[in-house]
Amino acid sequence: MEQQPLTAADPRFEERVRASFARQQVMATLGATLALVLPGEVQIALPFNQALTQQHGFHHAGVTTTIVDSACGYAALSLMPPGVGVLTIEYKVNFLAPGQGERFLAVGRVIKPGRTVMVSQGEVIATQGERESVVATMLATIMVVRDRPDVLD
Amino acid sequence: MEQQPLTAADPRFEERVRASFARQQVMATLGATLALVLPGEVQIALPFNQALTQQHGFHHAGVTTTIVDSACGYAALSLMPPGVGVLTIEYKVNFLAPGQGERFLAVGRVIKPGRTVMVSQGEVIATQGERESVVATMLATIMVVRDRPDVLD
Amino acid sequence: MEQQPLTAADPRFEERVRASFARQQVMATLGATLALVLPGEVQIALPFNQALTQQHGFHHAGVTTTIVDSACGYAALSLMPPGVGVLTIEYKVNFLAPGQGERFLAVGRVIKPGRTVMVSQGEVIATQGERESVVATMLATIMVVRDRPDVLD
Amino acid sequence: MEQQPLTAADPRFEERVRASFARQQVMATLGATLALVLPGEVQIALPFNQALTQQHGFHHAGVTTTIVDSACGYAALSLMPPGVGVLTIEYKVNFLAPGQGERFLAVGRVIKPGRTVMVSQGEVIATQGERESVVATMLATIMVVRDRPDVLD
């Protein structure tokens, strides 16, 4: 089924997502940047980095997971009013191809908005020259958190 | 049901797991070390590191996933004969508590050995002073790979 | 990590679980019965039935999933005070062996109690003569629902 | 990323899928029928049936899972040459809405074809009068099985 377009509860959603992303120190450690912020969709870019590889010289599956987890979580946060946070309860990732490529783009989209629970779908696309391939697909469950100052935004 | 003890096909399983782990450059980048290697069980330790945090100051879920993914994969590799590799097909992780603590221990165990597919269960335990808590639980499906020189060990 | 024993908020938890199970018409349709109700653990039994098979003559994976889903959900409900309901948000199941046997026992246990979200782990054990085998393992996320008369108990 | 169209290795794929479906006795027990068979996509229809409900009067999540599991598995089988079987290794399902409606349509699509492992995505759509809603979304890993007469087709 085609999904309805989503709308952000807060017109300053992009600013809030960018500010929160900037506080995720692991993103700087990996070299990941925020590529796109729309209501219900967030994209994160990561160039290939030898320091992030597993034993075969590909990006470690956990690194791929890290960027698509943030993309899925921020896709959910983009829909929230100010002062409300999100927490990833769980996710599943299928690895469709080795983490091989010059750069990776993680795309997270909310497929089920909700007042207390949201579901996001994610995809990581690797680019090598002209060639694109889907490296991983994620299904994530995200809890909406109110009245918890420790997990704001 | 209680599980039968597992036996390694290769008496030098620990050496092979340690050599492969040493080639996972992301482990050095994170500061993770191999804490224990048994047939069908591998443990990986990671001290808390500010550079690996998300916006609330906890370890990012993807970092927690990275170490328990490697623990689960190496638990499978420990049972394999030489010249056979493993590839993580997919995993699911439930996050049971924030990634908070002084150090983290990822424990991966094979719960279903197999000729072509193995299933591992993983757990990440955080330690803060005297207090231990389970931060995450993983269920992972791992493919056994033969005749592919690019994914040996 | 060893888990702490769980305690039920309602001394009449077994009665409530049994009454709810009796309203799950699909359980009668399958021929499943409630075998054990403890605080945080529920077991459901199902004899083999040709009418529930897939094309190879084994119980369909969805049938195996149905009984372990209910076991996991009722394990969560057993801990709840009266007037509070549970809803399965999502689950993952790994199938470790074909659904072959004379009878099946689904065991669901809460591994992470919580005020708004619970995590249960499930297992389905097949018995054939003297031989037992684990057919499936589940990891389920369950939402605790308050103030919704349509999903009570 | 948009996916390439898939092609069946066997021109008689529909016949083979229909013959295998007819042997899944659980489908007749539930009242499910094969609605569409394309290369890499299969749809299964199920009218609402009181005998399949859980305690709130909705279709049990396991019933919803059963039809979408078969849709995902047959989507994979539709791409296989004759004499090759498929086995569901594992799946994850997120439940997006209660199993409420007059009828349900499970749609399974292969998102990653492969020689030994395939990944399918599934969706269950409920219809109530004019209104359609997505009830569940599945991500399934399916193993391709050769030389095992017990799991042909």
3-state secondary structure chain B: CCCCCCCCCCCCHHHHHHHHHHHCHHHHHHCCEEEEEECCEEEEEEECCHHHECCCCCECHHHHHHHHHHHHHHHHHCCCCCCCEEEEEEEEEEECCCCCCCEEEEEEEEEECCCCEEEEEEEEEEEECCEEEEEEEEEEEEEEECCCHHHCC
Q: How confident is the model at residue D146 (pLDDT cuts 50, 70, 90)?
A: confident
Distance, C-alpha B24 to centroid of its chain: 12
Distance, C-alpha B133 to centroid of its chain: 18
pLDDT tens digits, C11-60:
999 999 999 999 999 999 999 999 999 999 999 999 999 999 999 999 99
Within-domain flag for B38? yes
Q: How confident is the model at residue A147 (pLDDT cuts 50, 70, 90)?
A: confident
* Contacts for D83 with CB less than 8 Å, ≥ 6 apart: D146, D152
pLDDT tens digits, B51-108:
999 999 999 999 999 999 999 999 999 999 998 999 999 999 999 999 899 999 999 9
Q: Which residues of D touch A132 (CB under 8 A)?
A: 1
pLDDT tens digits, A101-116:
999 999 999 999 998 9
pLDDT at position D87 over 80: yes
Looking at residue C147, what is its pLDDT?
Answer: 75
Within-domain flag for C2? no
Within-domain flag for C122? yes
Cα gap D125→D106, rounded to integer Å = 6
Enumerate the H helices of C1-153 as residue ranges.
Answer: 13-23, 25-30, 61-77
pLDDT at position B47 over 70: yes
Cα gap D59→B11, rounded to integer Å = 52
Cα gap C66→C60, rounded to integer Å = 10
Residue of A nearest to D127 (CA): A1
pLDDT at position A9 over 80: yes
Segment C93-100 shows an average pLDDT of 94
Q: Which chains touch B (3 or more CB pairs under 8 A)?
A: A, C, D
Task: Give the mean pLDDT of chain B.
Answer: 94
pLDDT at position B42 over 90: yes
Looking at residue A150, what is its pLDDT?
Answer: 67
Q: Which residues of D touch C56 (CB under 8 A)?
A: 150-151
* Contacts for C75 with CB less than 8 Å, ≥ 6 apart: C40, C41, C42, C108, C109, C110, C120
CA distance D34 to chain A (A): 19
Within-domain flag for A136? yes
Q: How confident is the model at residue C2 (pLDDT cuts 50, 70, 90)?
A: low
Of B119, B139, B143, which has the smallest distance from its Cβ to D117's Cβ? Answer: B143
Q: Which residues of B touch C132 (CB under 8 A)?
A: 1
pLDDT at position B128 over 90: yes
Determine, for residues C89 and A141 on separate chains, whether the beta-carbon distance falls below 8 Å.
yes
Cα gap C134→D108, rounded to integer Å = 27
Determine, for residues B92 and C139 on separate chains, whether the beta-carbon distance falls below 8 Å.
yes
pLDDT tens digits, B135-145:
999 999 999 99
Looking at residue D99, what is its pLDDT?
Answer: 87
CA distance C8 to chain A (A): 24
Share of chain D above pLDDT 70, in %: 95
Determine, for residues C112 and B119 on separate chains, whether the beta-carbon distance falls below 8 Å.
no
Residue of C nearest to D148 (CA): C56
CB of B56 closer than 8 Å to CB of B96: no
Of A89, A119, A139, which has the smallest distance from its Cβ to C117's Cβ? Answer: A89
Task: Give the mean pLDDT of chain A.
Answer: 94
Looking at residue B147, what is its pLDDT?
Answer: 74
CA distance D102 to chain B (A): 33
Segment D126-144 shows an average pLDDT of 97
Looking at residue A152, what is its pLDDT?
Answer: 61
Within-domain flag for C102? yes
Query: Beta strand pairing status for B117-128 and B131-145?
Result: antiparallel
pTM of the complete model: 0.95
Task: Assign B44 to helix, strand or coil.
Answer: strand
Tokens at B87, concatenated: 């590839």
Chains B, D: CB pairs < 8 Å: 19
Cα gap A36→A106, rounded to integer Å = 10
CA distance C140 to chain D (A): 9
Q: Which residues of A touch D132 (CB under 8 A)?
A: 1
Looking at residue D153, what is its pLDDT?
Answer: 67
Chains B, C: CB pairs < 8 Å: 38
Domain containing residue C147: 13-151
Looking at residue C128, what is its pLDDT?
Answer: 96
Share of chain C above pLDDT 90, in %: 88
Task: Give the mean pLDDT of chain D.
Answer: 94
Number of structural domains found in chain A: 1
Determine, for residues D143 and B117 on separate chains, whether the beta-carbon distance falls below 8 Å.
yes
Determine, for residues D117 and B92 on separate chains, whether the beta-carbon distance falls below 8 Å.
no
Task: Give the mean pLDDT of chain C.
Answer: 94
Paired strand residues for C136:
C95, C124
Segment D36-61 shows an average pLDDT of 97
Determine, for residues D141 and B141 on separate chains, whether the beta-carbon distance falls below 8 Å.
yes
Residue of A nearest to C117 (CA): A89
Cα gap B123→B63, rounded to integer Å = 13
Is the Cβ of B141 closer than 8 Å to some Cβ of chain C?
yes
* φ, ψ at D4 (rounded to 5°): -65, 150
Paired strand residues for C134:
C125
CATH assignment at residue C89: 3.10.129.10
Enumerate the H helices of chain B as residue ranges.
Answer: 13-23, 25-30, 61-77
Torsion sign, CA atoms A144, D93, D116, B20: positive
pLDDT at position C146 over 90: no
Closest CA to B59 of B105, B31, B99: B99
Looking at residue D4, what is its pLDDT?
Answer: 73
For chain A, positions 99-138, list CB contacts with chain D under 8 A.
Answer: 111-112, 119, 121, 123, 125, 132, 134, 137
Within-domain flag for A7? no
Of C92, C96, C121, which has the smallest distance from its Cβ to B112's Cβ? Answer: C96
* φ, ψ at B120 (rounded to 5°): -120, 150
DSSP secondary structure string, C112-145?
Answer: E--SSEEEEEEEEEEEETTEEEEEEEEEEEEEEE
pLDDT at position D1 over 80: no
Determine, for residues C116 and A90 on separate chains, whether the beta-carbon distance falls below 8 Å.
no
Looking at residue B95, what is its pLDDT?
Answer: 97
Q: How confident is the model at residue B151 (pLDDT cuts 50, 70, 90)?
A: low
Segment B2-13 shows an average pLDDT of 87
Looking at residue B150, what is its pLDDT?
Answer: 67
H or E segment and range at residue A110: strand A103-112
Residue of A nearest to B60 (CA): A26
Q: How confident is the model at residue B7 (pLDDT cuts 50, 70, 90)?
A: very high
Tokens at A31, concatenated: 């070299």
The single-letter DSSP state of residue C97 is S
Distance, C-alpha C109 to centroid of its chain: 8
Within-domain flag for B29? yes
What per-residue string of b and e applies to A93-123 under the rule 16 or more CB within 10 Å gives b?
bbbbebbbbeebbbbbbbbbbbeebbbbbbb
pLDDT tens digits, D7-23:
999 999 999 999 999 99
Within-domain flag for C120? yes
